[in-house]
Amino acid sequence: MQTATSRRAETVFIPPLEGGHAEVFRQPLPLRRRVGRVLREWFRRYRMRARLRWQLRDMDATRAELDVGLPIGSLMEEAYKPFWKA
């Protein structure tokens, strides 16, 4: 966890929702090539989301709150709130 004195500017990569790879699925190709392209696209998305999860896991809660525009401390309050009070 970072303190206020050790905080440095961090760049977090947030991938776009559409990666621009939609044209992969529009081309009429043999079944084997289509399946290969679909599997490669799924694996690409998996790696992209895994990278984002690691970045979010390493991010300080205060920095995440400021990044989203929430008041400081609200994420911890929500995290410790019982599910029946959500």
What integer pLDDT is reported at residue 1 of this predicted model?
Answer: 47
The 10 Å CB-count burial string (b at 16+, else e) for 9-18 is eeeeeeeeee
In a domain, 3, yes or no: no
Q: What is the pLDDT of residue 22?
A: 56
Report pLDDT for 25. Answer: 56
Contact 79, 64 (CB under 8 A): no
Asked if the structure places residue 7 within a domain, the reply is no
**Whether pTM exceeds 0.75:** no
What's residue 82's pLDDT? 79
The series of mean pLDDT values per 10 residues for the chain, 86 residues long, is 52 60 65 89 91 80 82 81 75
Estimate to the nearest angstrom the gap between the alpha carbon of 45 and the chain centroid.
Answer: 10
pLDDT the model gives residue 76: 78
How many domains does the structure of the chain reveal? 1
| Percent helix / strand / coil, the chain, rounded to 5 | 55, 0, 45
Domain-embedded: residue 27: yes
Cβ atoms 53, 12 nearer than 8 A: no
What's the domain range around 63?
22-85
